[in-house]
């Protein structure tokens, strides 16, 4: 599925370069040495190379100051080769993430984290798709899953996944419930879900008891167990028995997130032509 998106982008990129001389360019900024972030950043660079984008990596030490990072963002904002800027989160504690996100030119904000882009997503008229939630929507669409009038339950209320995911589902006319760590009677709510999206960050927390027969289960989690095994937030074996559709970890939502990021980078490059 993600391969299909990347293959299409590769063709469109060849055409864009031929017609306008513009090669989409993505700058990826990583601060510190979080191992999960390193894996994500490597996948993003690899996808750029596959499609034919220009990409730059800025790997900065954990001791980088907020001011130094702001200076880099400003430099990238003013660099015509760069159409998309991605600052990998989380940032070290001494750097205010909101300050950094707010400094990115909204036209280059391929994560769609800037308040301008978040507002556009809320309204439903947006250029940049929120990467993980849009990847989930693409999987649902590809599997021909009906959303109109269905009960969708999202567990997690982060700015990266839970909140924008809820908006995208709402735009498709689902009846959306957002659950989080303070939600009471979680199981009663999740059992009403025709579509359940899980983004809690706790290994295999949602097992078969939480879902109803025939539910669609989307696992956004990515957790490393002590034995090094990579698992989602969903207990796959027990849910698979009841679900009509379920995404695996790894290989489900993750690659779609990157595919969406690549789409956004293309959009950002194309939008400079107008």
CA–CA dist 129, 110 (Å, integer) = 8
10 sits in which H/E element: helix 2-20
3-state SS, residue 245: strand
- Assign residue 216 a region (left: φ > 0; alpha: ψ between -120 and 50; beta: otherwise): beta
Closest distance between ligand GUN and the C-beta of residue 172, in Å?
A: 21
Closest distance between ligand GUN and the C-beta of residue 88, in Å?
A: 5
The answer to whether 43 and 55 are in contact (CB under 8 A) is no
Closest distance between ligand GUN and the C-beta of residue 264, in Å?
A: 11
Cβ proximity to ligand GUN, 129 vs 243, nearer residue: 129
Cβ proximity to ligand GUN, 85 vs 215, nearer residue: 85
Cβ proximity to ligand GUN, 16 vs 218, nearer residue: 218
CA–CA dist 270, 274 (Å, integer) = 8
Q: Is 111 a catalytic residue?
A: yes
Cβ proximity to ligand GUN, 111 vs 204, nearer residue: 111
**CA dihedral over 255, 125, 163, 216, signed as positive or negative:** negative
Pairing mode of beta strands 216-219, 245-246: parallel
Cβ proximity to ligand GUN, 64 vs 257, nearer residue: 257
Closest distance between ligand GUN and the C-beta of residue 162, in Å?
A: 12
Question: Residue of minimal CB distance from ligand GUN?
Answer: 89
Distances from the Cα of 93 to the Cα of 98, 103, 107, 161, angstroms: 12, 18, 27, 21
Closest distance between ligand GUN and the C-beta of residue 104, in Å?
A: 10
Catalytic residue among 109, 111, 194, 219: 111
Q: Is 44 a catalytic residue?
A: yes
Q: Which residues bind ligand GUN (CB under 6 A)?
A: 86-89, 111, 131-132, 160, 257
Q: Is 127 a catalytic residue?
A: no
Pairing mode of beta strands 25-31, 54-60: parallel
Catalytic site positions: 44, 88, 111
């Amino acid at each position: 599925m993600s391969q299909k998106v990347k293959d299409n982008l590769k063709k469109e990129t060849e055409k864009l370069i031929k017609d306008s001389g513009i090669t989409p360019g993505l700058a990826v900024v990583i601060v510190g040495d979080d191992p999960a972030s390193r894996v994500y950043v490597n996948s993003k660079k690899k996808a750029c190379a596959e499609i034919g984008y220009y990409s730059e990596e800025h790997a900065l030490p954990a001791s980088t100051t907020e001011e130094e990072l702001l200076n880099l963002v400003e430099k990238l904002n003013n660099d015509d080769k760069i159409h998309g800027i991605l600052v990998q989160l989380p940032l070290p504690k001494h750097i205010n993430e909101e300050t950094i996100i707010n400094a990115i030119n909204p036209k280059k904000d391929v994560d769609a984290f800037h308040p301008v882009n978040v507002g556009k997503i809320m309204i439903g008229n947006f250029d940049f798709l929120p990467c993980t939630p849009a990847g989930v929507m693409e999987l649902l669409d590809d599997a021909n899953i009906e959303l109109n009038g269905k009960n969708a339950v999202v567990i997690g209320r982060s700015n990266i996944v839970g909140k924008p995911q809820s908006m995208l589902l709402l735009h498709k006319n689902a009846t959306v419930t957002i659950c989080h760590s303070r939600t009471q009677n979680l199981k009663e709510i999740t059992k009403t879900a025709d579509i359940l999206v899980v983004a809690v960050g706790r290994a295999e927390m949602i097992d078969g008891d939480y879902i109803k027969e025939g539910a669609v289960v989307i696992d956004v989690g990515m957790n490393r167990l002590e034995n090094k095994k990579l698992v989602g937030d969903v207990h796959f074996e027990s849910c698979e028995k009841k679900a009509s559709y379920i995404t695996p970890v790894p290989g489900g939502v993750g690659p779609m997130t990157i595919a969406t990021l690549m789409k956004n980078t293309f959009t950002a490059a194309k939008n400079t032509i107008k």
